[in-house]
Amino acid sequence: MGNTTLVSIRIITADIKRLVQFFEAATSSTAKWSTDDFAEITSQSFTLAIGSTRTLAFFGEGIAEPATNKSVIIEFLVENVDNDYQKIKDLTNDIIQEPTTMPWGNRSLLFRDSDGNLINFFTPVSDEAKKKFLV
C-alpha cells in the first residue's frame, strides 16, 4: 500500500446519539465529540468515526444512506470475546453468531449495532492467529 494508511472508518447514522452510546458501551470507551453531528472513538490502531446524516451535506446529495450496510464487517480485536459476550447481549438482541472458534484461529462474536451494521469482536486463540496479531 505504499504510504497509504487506514486511520478511520466512518459510519453515517440518522441517530448519532444512540449509535455513539452503543459503541461507547460495546467498547468501554468514551467518544470525543467534535460537533453535535460528529464523534470519534479512538483506539491505538484506528478511529471509529460516527457522523450524522447532516454531515453528508458537505459531500453532496445521495452519497451515503444510513442503516443500509450489507457488505462491510467492522472488526474489533478484544482481550477475551467470551467475557465481552454478556455485555454485548445486554446491548443488542441481534446476535448473529455466539462466540465461535473459526478455522483461521480467531474466536469470534458477530452481532449488529443499533443501525444494523455487522460487528465482529474477536480474540486470537490459535498460535498462528496470536502471532499474527502480536498477542
Q: For 41-55, what is each residue's pLDDT tens digit?
A: 999 889 999 999 999
Q: For 51-106, what is each residue's pLDDT tens digit?
A: 999 998 888 878 899 999 889 999 999 999 999 999 999 999 999 999 999 999 99
**Confidence at residue 20, expressed as pLDDT on a 0 to 100 scale:** 98
Closest CA to 38 of 26, 60, 54, 59: 54
Q: At what angle do helices 81-91 and 16-27 cross, to 10 degrees?
A: 150
What is the average per-residue pLDDT within 123-131?
97
Strand order in the sheet with 106-112: 73-77, 118-124, 106-112, 95-101
The domain in which residue 78 lies consists of 69-135
pLDDT confidence bin for 4, thresholds 50/70/90 = confident
Q: Residue 18 sits in a domain of what CATH number? A: 3.30.720.120
Buried b / exposed e over 73-112, threshold 16 CB at 10 Å, is eeebbbeebeebbeebeebbeeeeeebeeeeebbbbbbbe
**Confidence at residue 58, expressed as pLDDT on a 0 to 100 scale:** 86
Q: Are residues 54 and 97 in the same domain?
A: no
Q: Are residues 89 and 126 in the same domain?
A: yes
Q: Are residues 43 and 73 in the same domain?
A: no
Assess whether pLDDT exceeds 80 at residue 116. yes
Answer yes or no: is 64 within a domain: no
**Confidence at residue 119, expressed as pLDDT on a 0 to 100 scale:** 97
**Confidence at residue 1, expressed as pLDDT on a 0 to 100 scale:** 54
Assess whether pLDDT exceeds 80 at residue 2. no
